[in-house]
Structure 1
């Protein structure tokens, strides 16, 4: 794991909300409302976590021009980091 990936992994783990949101995107793109339902977090917490993860380029918005039905997905770096999470929990 590169230094950057290690730092980003710790950044994700620092916040349980961020970690939950990040892990739900493991299976593909999702809307914030679906993430909120899966994680039992309120939509504001999900939105904040997605904003933070997007700023760190771990997640990206597939349809930025849409106001409704926004879909978020892991970036390549996010995909690499989620594999590290999976390996550590096996």
Structure 2
């Protein structure tokens, strides 16, 4: 999966649904980096946005693949 940012983001979303700001706060990653990380993870079908139409307050969660990865990381 690669970078420590991606690993931290997946860990932060383990069994949870969060907005990017909360993921940033939980991981210590700056908000401007989180959107890029989430975008990459989304392209790899590791995370999904469950309210894509929202301009603010988008909610992200792990896909089943992402959850398997998070479980393996424990």
**TM (normalized to structure 1)?**
0.78
**Per-residue CA distance 1:19-58 (angstroms, 9 max, x = gap):** 1111100031100000111111111111111000000000
State the partner residue of 2:65.
77
Runs of 4+ in 1 over 4 A off after TM superposition: none
Over the aligned positions, Cα root-mean-square deviation in angstroms equals 0.8
Confirm whether residue 26 of structure 1 aligns to residue 5 of structure 2: no
* SS state at 1:26 partner: coil
**TM (normalized to structure 2)?**
0.94
Counterpart Cα distance in 2 of 1:15 and 1:48: 12
Confirm whether residue 37 of structure 1 aligns to residue 25 of structure 2: yes
| Aligned length, in residue pairs | 74
- Structure with a larger share of its residues in helix: 1
Bigger RCO of structures 1 and 2 (CA < 8 A, at least 6 apart): 2
Unaligned runs of 5+ in 1: 1-10
Counterpart Cα distance in 2 of 1:27 and 1:76: 10
Contact 2:15 2:62 survives alignment (8 Å): no
Deviation at 1:70, TM superposition (A): 0.3
